[in-house]
Amino acid sequence: MKLRYCLSGHPTLPCNVLKFKSTTIMLDCGLDMTSTLNFLPMPLSVPSWAELKECSGHVFVDSVPEFCLPETELLDLSTVDVILISNYHCMMALPYITEYTGFTGTVYATEPTVQIGRLLMEELVNSIERVPKAQSASMWKNKEVQRLLPAPLKDAVEVSMWRKCYTMPEVNAALSKIQLVGYSQKIELFGAVQVTPLSSGYALGSSNWIIQSHYEKVSYVSGSSLLTTHPQPMDQASLKNSDVLILTGLTQIPTANPDGMVGEFCSNLAMTVRNGGNVLVPCYPSGVIYDLLECLYQYIDSAGLSNVPFYFISPVANSSLEFSQIFAEWLCHNKQTKVYLPEPPFPHAELIQTNKLKHYPSIHGDFSNDFKQPCVVFTGHPSLRFGDVVHFMELWGKSSLNTVIFTEPDFSYLDALAPYQPLAMKCVYCPIDTRLNFIQVSKLLKEVQPLHVVCPEQYTQPPPTQSHRTDLMIDCQPPPMSYRRAEVLTLPYKRRYEKIEIMPELADSLVPLEIKPGISLATVSAVLHTKDNKHVLQLPPKPPQPPASKKRKRVSDDVPECKPLKPLLSGSIPVDQFVQTLEKHGFSDVKVEDTAKGHIVLLQEAETLIQIEEDSTHIICDNDEPLRVKLRDLVLKFLQKF
Amino acid sequence: MSDPGPALSAQKSWFIARARHRFAMTRECALLLPRVCAALADPRQPGSDDTCLEKLLDWFRTLTEFDPAVKLVQDNPCLTEFITSVLALPEPSPSILSFTLRLAGILAASESRFQHLQQEKLLVRLFGGDGPLSSAVWEDASVRSGWVEGVHSMMHHQPALHFLCNGGGIDVIFALQGDPSLFVASAASRLLVHMLILSVETETTKPLSAKDCDWPACAQMIIKRVEDSLQSSSASHVEQSLKLLTSLFGSCRSTWTEVLWLGIAKQIESFLTEKTVQVQHMLANLLLSMAWSPVFCDSEGSFWALVTSALEHLTPVQAGPLAVGILRLYKCPQDVRIQALTVLLQPMDCILRAASQPLEYAGLLDESVSDPATVEGLLSSKSSCAGLLCQTLAHLEELLSLIHLPVDLPYASLLRSLMTILQFCNGFLSPASPLGSTISRILINCFRVQRSALDVLAALSERKGCDTLIGSLFDVLLAYLESPNTSPTVLKKTFQATSKWLVRLHELSCSNSQWQQTEKILEDVFLVLQKRLCSPCWEVRDSSLEFLTVLIKSLRDQDEFRQSLLSSEVPRLTENLLEDPESYVRASAVTAVGHLAFITYFAPESPVIGNQYDKENTVAKLQEILSTDPEGFPRRAVITIFTKWLRQGCTGQLEDTEQFVSRVIQTVEHDLDWEVRLGGLELVEVFCSQTICQLGPPKCSYAPVSSAVTSSIHQNKSLQVFCRAKLFSFLFRSLCDCDKPVGQRACDILLALRGSFYPISTLKDSQETGDSPAGSGIAWLQRTLRQGSLAQNFPTDGGNGVDFEDPESMMLALGTIDLEELHDELNKCSDHVEKSPQSLLQDILATVGTIEENEADCY
């Protein structure tokens, strides 16, 4: 029996728990940050006593932004044995789980995932801690109060679960519980289950996971991409023959083709800069930004933008750009070969060398001296609620020459912009999401052919804003099983077999007997020894010696007592031949009757009855033991013994 | 009215005489032929060059075409000997055997030669049942093909017809209709048609009618076979007969074809209703070839009823070509026409109905010819939907391209349906019916359908009646232009459709004065164009520039257009693209900037004056491209634009123009790309004709003597202008250009100049100028020009005694050099080396010769 607990309602930031063969495995640990959109951008707030502020018709909470955590009430998270992380975006809730729930297990992730995940967490903590807020609002969370608030605050769910950001020590503690793994590495969990990460093609070090026992295989596909971008391509072949395929992390913008969006991004960027405006790109410090920089590297000369400075501002900008260059073995083939030339795999090294791309930890310090306009700025956070992006929104928002280009698909750009209204600057929405779209999913499923597909309920119906797009949902046979936040799902697969090892000595003692061509049988008498979820058949202990003295008798060593075994019989009795044999042996008045299950042979003289059925034979005679034994031996002649 | 008869026959006889002369069997040929024949029949020879054999057959075909006499074979016994010796070979090579069959057929085309060959028993041995037909070499398709062609060639007279029919040849030909080689199969089918026509038209004694059809024996055999195979249960047999009938009705318009038809009409009709044999797809072609024949299309009879029935019973995919073919006919009953249109429009109607609420739109059609469920079924299947739509759209485009359409299409509904398809394809439409959502699901991102629909949309812009929808149409087009998901090829088509509809929009706003709508649309178009000009995909930048050029070409006189364009960022972005890294884009940018100039600095009432559009700067930039761009396309574009400017009189006063032209040709004359040099000559040509027009023809041109010529030179301002502009050195150098079109063009221009400067009467005299001071230089020039493109160098600095800037010398050069001869020389085809029959025979012998030499070596 396998159970899945869904702890997150966000299909691209999943957090699920799988109970499988006595192990409890948490799959990903995503943090839903869309809750921050209900808060006022951090540097914008002025100290006041009011918890709520109105801004261009929207009401925002004036407080340190809070995040919506995965469900913690559905099951005792201290019982989770391991956490498998599929990519750096899906581990942002890790400190909340490992540091607050009594979790004592291990976390598995690839090295780039951990390193870049650390950068993302560091940037998050840094951006929030940099602007200390005196107050933390909690009054509005009171159900009675919340009910009276305008939308979207009124409709915000699980507000009591929202938590402030973790701290750096918590991040470090959480990351210290991670064990690094490589693609295709097999990790045994308590001997019961084997887990293996596979390349998923979405980001540096991103993985899908295979969780399998000897007879069952569950694939967990989260955040995969079939496009040729910087990471190693997706390993599809290893997903074949799955009993269950859990499918999460598909593209959030299924209608936007990433290539078209990159084109759109470049065109709008060039148009703005040529008109003397500045471009602001709110983004994460890792991921799509590498591809964007690569596109720009090819594009800026042709578009006559060679003299326009590109700034990348993040507390972790430097590490992000450098890390990307050292994870060669996690990159796509093209980039790997560059390393042997030797050349840096990403061309942003050259942009930095030629001073076209400059990076700074923050807008303070060196940046303010170097800053020239018009320019292009990449900075976080894409929610526009904290980080240096807030300063640039304030600085450039009033001029229609400037443009803000949203490339991260995680936040609704209209909601992100709401507190900045009215805004003169142009806004362009070019979400670049390289994760699988529905056409690719349908090809993948055809290729991999899992017995069952399990996915978030969002994927089983068209997007709410485009209800006519029936092409934007998973279409497979049998239909996928769907789940939603705080739901427990029983996976549609029953375990039927278990692997057992036979010790060599025991195996030696077996004498298989061919009962049908190609099928041999042997009886086994052994002791089943189970330890660490491994089952071994051992030689039975020798029959216990008769105790020397009754005193020394004790219930010894858990060894069960062995009775001598009766041989097993197999085969069928051909009635005609049996009757002939009986006649040969002097039974003259043999009569045969057919019954529903077999035959009854009547020996009228002896008043004896032999009932022959498919799986049993009975000899019924009246207290004539010698006759019974004689008849038994005749019956046994027709059967095989082993 | 005069009788053209004698004139025509005179012309014909002259033609025959010329052909006879050109291809005659000369004594030399007659001497060579026996050796050639012997060589060809020699099995030790390697397979002869097929081209030579084909040429040899061509020669015999022309030889025999105008000369039916038996003399040819009598005088050249080597021909029959050749056939005999090939027949005697135990294992003739397939190519030689095929050649022999075809040669024999050609020779036997005339009755007398046929008899001659018959006497020798050659034809029977070649084409009879015991010939190649029954040998192993028949397996080779070239032998079968040679057999069919040979028979076809001889099939011009009754003896041949009887020879074949009586010898069982008909069976062979019918069998060959199903030959695995498509060439053989179709040749066999053509042969049967030819024989049938020959038999009926030469052997019929009295006119045939349905009641009394006494077919000649041979025709009877063929017709019987056709009738039998039509009743066969084998689809391939039925197909062969339908093919034969299609080609018969397509090539023969005699009334007896109707008699034949009446005998089989019932059977053919049954193919439509009883679908036991799957041959429906062949019927459309058959009916169309009949519809073009006056025998059937004029008849009151059942033919049109059959067409109607076909339109009803064939599947939409099969009926499409029939419908569109019928709509192209002028002679056709109106009700059939309407029915054909209905069939064609049915998928479009289905789309419209699927997309809208019931009763919201009436749909396209009042009623349908066949069951609408069939079309719905095809459209809701993933495998057939795009195919059916693309076929329908291609047919519609074909129809719309006809200037005179015999029927009126419901343009507005058609447009609405097209818009629906386009919206299905980009997922912008939420369909109201289940069928609609199935279709939309299939069509989303289907580029093939998008491209076809946009083609029809563009073609529809020229038809009236869609004006009320123009606003929503532009919504659709702009959505395509704006969407990042639009593929570059679809975008290009969208641009093409948009430009056509913008012209239509303008015409419309002129008539109803709805300028606001036009302005808004133009503004939106330029906004999206701005973005597309900055695209990282070069194909997109390129088609954006082409779109801009097309718009300027067709709308440059419109104030609203000019204002919208000039107040956008488009002109500046376009100029930026002159430095694009992609050469195609630079070329398109040059063309676009060149056209933009017409509405910026060349416009008399230029709406924007100031530094923003700096004329000098642009001209300098284009000139820089012309002299330094490493790729040919941008340089070609520049020279084309310069010529266009000159044509439109945009290059200023004569003096400015002279300097401009001079500068350009000095840049161009050393260009490595011949098209650029040719473009330079075109510029020179325009300049010359404009200058001569402007300054008037040279005075005293009637002066008869050379002294008068000299004196007139000083008054000849045009000549002086041309000399100053260094035109002549360019023109004379071009005569020696290694690329022929350049030389031809230069020669044409020089001839035209001479025509302007010398009246014809003075020409003869003026050519005798050997003792003039410039004479020796001209002599050098003449020598050099004779070398043509082999002339190694062509100094134009006067080092050879020719001063190309001296009007007197140039006048002399024009008069002295035999430009006509040069012209002829340049216009000879590159393969003008001898191609007489004699040289062909020699060629064949030459290859044989090598063998003989080798043999000699062996001994």
With H, G, I as helix, E, B as strand and everything else as coil, classify residue A548.
Answer: coil
Going from the C-alpha of B181 to that of each of B43, B171, B185, B190, B345, the distances in angstroms are 26, 18, 6, 14, 38
| More confident position, B415 or B509 | B415
Q: What is the pLDDT of residues A412-454, one digit of tens each?
A: 999 999 999 899 999 999 999 999 999 999 999 999 999 999 9
Decide if A218 contacts A452 (C-beta within 8 A): no
**Left (φ > 0), alpha (ψ -120 to 50) or beta: where does B575 sit?**
alpha
Contacts of B625 (CB under 8 A, 6+ apart): B578, B586, B590, B634, B635, B638
Q: Residue A492 belongs to what H/E stretch? A: none
Q: Which of B434-448, B582-596, B796-810 has the lowest mean pLDDT?
A: B796-810
Alpha carbon of B538: minimum distance to chain A alpha carbons (Å): 10
Q: What is the pLDDT of residue B420?
A: 93
Q: Is the pLDDT of residue B212 over 90?
A: no
Q: What is the pLDDT of residue A193?
A: 92
Amino acid at the residue B375: V
Mean pLDDT score, B759-783: 59
Q: What is the pLDDT of residue A1?
A: 46
Best of B483, B491, B534 to mutate (most A CBs within 10 Å, chain A):
B534
The answer to whether B485 contacts chain A (CB < 8 Å) is: yes
Beta bridge partner(s), residue A109: A180
Q: What is the pLDDT of residues B244-259, one digit of tens each?
A: 999 999 999 888 998 8
**A559: Cα separation from own chain's centroid:** 43
**CA-to-CA distance for B829 and A536, rounded, in angstroms?**
93
**CA-to-CA distance for B767 and B770, rounded, in angstroms?**
8
Interface of A with B (CB under 8 A): 255-257, 260-264, 266-268, 270-271, 274-275, 295, 298-299, 301-304, 430, 466-471
| pLDDT confidence tier of residue B858, bands split at 50, 70 and 90 | very low
| pLDDT confidence tier of residue A550, bands split at 50, 70 and 90 | low
**CA-to-CA distance for B490 and B469, rounded, in angstroms?**
22
Q: What is the pLDDT of residue B609?
A: 47
Range ranked top by mean pLDDT from A360-364, B211-215, B763-767: A360-364
| pLDDT confidence tier of residue A261, bands split at 50, 70 and 90 | very high
- In the DSSP assignment, the letter for residue A245 is E
Strand order in the sheet with A598-603: A590-594, A598-603, A608-613, A617-620
**Inter-chain touch A271–B530, beta carbons under 8 Å:** yes
Q: Is the pLDDT of residue B626 over 90?
A: yes
| More confident position, A325 or A543 | A325
Q: Is the pLDDT of residue A504 over 90?
A: yes
Beta bridge partner(s), residue B146: none
**A388: Cα separation from own chain's centroid:** 33
Torsion of the alpha carbons at B746, B748, B750 and B756, rounded to the nearest 10 = -150
Q: What is the pLDDT of residue B855?
A: 47
**Nearest residue to A15 (alpha-carbon basis) of A77, A90, A123, A104:** A90
Q: What is the pLDDT of residue B704?
A: 40
**CA-to-CA distance for A376 and A360, rounded, in angstroms?**
13
Number of H helices, E strands in chain B: 45, 0
Alpha carbon of A94: minimum distance to chain B alpha carbons (Å): 37
Length of chain B: 859
Going from the C-alpha of A323 to that of each of A315, A364, B185, the distances in angstroms are 14, 24, 69
Alpha carbon of A262: minimum distance to chain B alpha carbons (Å): 9
- Phi and psi of B351, rounded to 5°? -60, -45
| pLDDT confidence tier of residue A558, bands split at 50, 70 and 90 | low
Q: What is the pLDDT of residue A564?
A: 63
Going from the C-alpha of A279 to that of each of A282, A397, A425, B709, the distances in angstroms are 10, 11, 10, 72
Mean pLDDT score, A519-542: 86
Q: What is the pLDDT of residue B803?
A: 79
Mean pLDDT score, A363-389: 93
Q: What is the DSSP string of A571-631?
A: ----HHHHHHHHHHTT---EEEEE-SSEEEEEETTTTEEEEEESS-EEEE-SS-HHHHHHH
With H, G, I as helix, E, B as strand and everything else as coil, classify residue B84.
Answer: helix
Q: Is the pLDDT of residue B706 over 50?
A: no
Q: Is the pLDDT of residue B450 over 70?
A: yes
Q: What is the pLDDT of residues B578-597, one digit of tens each?
A: 999 999 999 999 999 999 99
| pLDDT confidence tier of residue B808, bands split at 50, 70 and 90 | confident
What's the alpha-carbon Rg for chain B, to the nearest Å? Answer: 36
Decide if B785 contacts B777 (C-beta within 8 A): no
B216 prior amide bond cis, ω within 30:
no
Percent of chain B at pLDDT > 70 equals 85
Alpha carbon distance, N-terminus to C-terminus of chain A: 36
| pLDDT confidence tier of residue A377, bands split at 50, 70 and 90 | very high
**Would you report the helix, strand and coil content of chain A in percent, each value rounded to 5?**
30, 25, 45
Contacts of B532 in chain A (CB under 8 A): 267
Q: What stretches of B155-234 show up as alpha helix (H) in DSSP? A: 158-166, 169-176, 182-203, 217-230
Contacts of A267 in chain B (CB under 8 A): 531-532, 534-536
The answer to whether B316 contacts chain A (CB < 8 Å) is: no
pTM of the model: 0.80
Compare CB distances from B441 to A302, A467, A471 and report the shortest one's residue. Answer: A471
Q: Number of residue pairs across A and B with CB atoms under 8 Å?
A: 71
Q: Is the pLDDT of residue B416 over 60?
A: yes
**CA-to-CA distance for B186 and B726, rounded, in angstroms?**
62
Q: Which of A30-44, A483-497, B466-480, B788-802 has the lowest mean pLDDT?
A: B788-802
Q: What is the DSSP string of B394-407?
A: HHHHHHHT-SS-SS
Q: Is the pLDDT of residue A304 over 90?
A: no
In SS3 terms, B283-317 reads as HHHHHHHHHCCHHHHCCCCCHHHHHHHHHHHCCHH
Percent of chain B at pLDDT > 90 equals 45
Average predicted confidence (pLDDT) for chain B:
85
Decide if B679 contacts B640 (C-beta within 8 A): yes
**CA-to-CA distance for B318 and B314, rounded, in angstroms?**
6
**CA-to-CA distance for B99 and B142, rounded, in angstroms?**
9
**CA-to-CA distance for B397 and B737, rounded, in angstroms?**
44
Going from the C-alpha of B171 to that of each of A289, A320, B105, B129, B164, the distances in angstroms are 76, 83, 19, 11, 10
Q: What is the pLDDT of residues B80-132, one digit of tens each?
A: 999 999 999 888 889 999 999 999 999 999 999 999 999 988 999 999 888 89
- In the DSSP assignment, the letter for residue A232 is P
Q: What is the pLDDT of residue B1?
A: 42
Beta bridge partner(s), residue A520: A514
Compare CB distances from B485 to A257, A301, A470 and report the shortest one's residue. Answer: A257
The answer to whether B437 contacts chain A (CB < 8 Å) is: yes
Q: What is the pLDDT of residue A268?
A: 93
Here the tokens at position A261 are 């969006």
**Nearest residue to B735 (alpha-carbon basis) of B806, B785, B687:** B785
**CA-to-CA distance for B195 and B222, rounded, in angstroms?**
9
Q: What is the pLDDT of residue B15?
A: 63
Q: What is the pLDDT of residues B342-364, one digit of tens each?
A: 999 999 999 988 887 654 555 66
Alpha carbon of B592: minimum distance to chain A alpha carbons (Å): 18
Q: What is the pLDDT of residues A561-591, one digit of tens each?
A: 556 667 777 778 888 888 888 888 888 888 8
**Nearest residue to A346 (alpha-carbon basis) of A319, A325, A322, A373:** A325
**Inter-chain touch B427–A470, beta carbons under 8 Å:** no
Q: What is the pLDDT of residues B723-744, one digit of tens each?
A: 999 999 899 888 888 888 898 9
Q: Is the pLDDT of residue B498 over 80?
A: yes
Residue with tokens 């006919």: B329
Amino acid at the residue A288: V
Going from the C-alpha of B47 to that of each of B79, B517, B552, the distances in angstroms are 19, 74, 61
Task: Give the Cβ contact number of residue A286 at 10 Å.
Answer: 26
Kind of pairing, strands A488-490 and A3-6?
antiparallel
Q: Is the pLDDT of residue A263 over 70?
A: yes
Q: What is the pLDDT of residue A390?
A: 94
- Phi and psi of B278, rounded to 5°? -85, 80
Q: What is the pLDDT of residues B401-411, one digit of tens each?
A: 988 888 888 89
- Please report how many Cα atoms fall inside a 13 Å half-sphere around the Cα of residue A59, on the Cβ side: 14
Alpha carbon of A396: minimum distance to chain B alpha carbons (Å): 21
Mean pLDDT score, B519-543: 93
Decide if A184 contacts A199 (C-beta within 8 A): no
Decide if B1 contacts B811 (C-beta within 8 A): no
Number of H helices, E strands in chain A: 16, 35
Strands (E), B758-800: none
Q: Is the pLDDT of residue B604 over 70?
A: no
Q: What is the pLDDT of residue B650?
A: 84
The answer to whether B534 contacts chain A (CB < 8 Å) is: yes
- Furthest-apart CA pair in chain B: how many Å? 98
Q: What is the pLDDT of residue B707?
A: 47
Contacts of B455 (CB under 8 A, 6+ apart): B393, B397, B493, B497
Here the tokens at position B104 are 């024999």
Alpha carbon of A34: minimum distance to chain B alpha carbons (Å): 26
